[in-house]
Amino acid sequence: MARDDGAPRVPDLVLERYRLGELPRTEAEALERRLRDDAGLGARLRALERSDAEIRRRYPPAWLAERVRLRLAPPASKGPHLRPAFARRWAVPLVAAAAAMVLLVLAPQLVSPPSGNLAVRPPVVEDSGNRIKGLKPALQLFRKTPDGSETLADGDVVRAGDLIRVGYRAAGRGFGVIVSIDGRSSVTVHLPVHGDQAAALASGDTVLLDHAYQLDDAPRFERFHFVTAQAPFAVATVVDAARRAVTTAGASELPLAASFEQATFLLRKGDWP
């Protein structure tokens, strides 16, 4: 039955601490008594458990741990980064607790991937837009599934017809181009969608492109290249480099000047080794 005695609402933080066994004994016992009488409170606890399980299923533990670390780290403008000894001491607890902590630290910014249009949006950790020391640009790819979407790892096997959503982490770089090369040596430009100049990159953690990309039947692989620079540059610079590149999945970098930074992401087609 639901409570109607006007008792104060139990915060989600308290419920999470109870789930993790972190409440003092007296508080835990009081909460257990209330759970026996309060159906709504029990439903909230079960919802947190389901949400925790879903987050663990959809997002890699290392990815979650990094999100928590970024949330807990002090802003760069307000002092130095964590001292090495402190960071080592917290490394293991962060990884172990990431899936639980994400509900408290990141939940307000987490939008679950819907089943229809692959609109996957992992938590966003805003940055100042400046180059972030020690953080490099990166790609993150997602694949549509019957239940919504899944996070892909570099080197995962995919098949013709798969719908892929591409995301990037700018890490403070100003401009970027994303292209892919398939097993037929075809070059596809994913970012920018229009125009002949590199796109102005958005700040934050994983920024998703607006549209999903359906893989065709080109054999062997599809390798995505994310090229960034601090100043604007022509899309043709990257496209020409992609066409000159060795068209094998092993060509992890494009022949570009050292002023460009590159990140790649390989998808293997079918049973290609």
- Distance from C-alpha of 154 to C-alpha of 258, rounded to nearest angstrom: 24
At residue 220, what is the residue type?
A: R
Number of H helices, E strands in the chain: 6, 11
Burial pattern 61-84, b for ≥16 Cβ within 10 A else e, equals eebbbbbbbbeeeeeeeeeeeeee
* pLDDT at residue 86, rounded to an integer: 34
pLDDT higher for 128 or 161? 161
Please give the model's pTM, rounded to 2 decimal places.
0.54
pLDDT band, very low/low/confident/very high, at 110 (cuts 50, 70, 90): very low
- The SS3 call for residue 134 is coil
Taking all residues of the chain, what is their mean pLDDT, rounded to a whole number?
76
Q: Which residues does residue 214 pair with via DSSP β-bridges, in sequence order?
A: 163
- The SS3 call for residue 210 is coil
- CA nearest 131: which of 183, 94, 177, 76? 76
- Distance from C-alpha of 246 to C-alpha of 62, rounded to nearest angstrom: 32
Q: What is the DSSP string of 90-131?
A: HHHHHHHHHHHHHHHHTGGG-BPPPSSS---B-------SSP
pLDDT digits (tens, 9 = 90+) for 39-93: 888 888 888 877 776 666 665 555 556 555 555 555 544 444 333 333 333 344 4
- Distance from C-alpha of 205 to C-alpha of 8, rounded to nearest angstrom: 36
Q: What is the DSSP string of 6-60?
A: -PPPPPHHHHHHHHTT-S-HHHHHHHHHHHHH-HHHHHHHHHHHHHHHHHHHHS-
Q: Which domains does the chain have, with CATH numbers?
A: 12-109 (no CATH), 138-269 (2.70.50)
End-to-end CA distance of the chain: 58
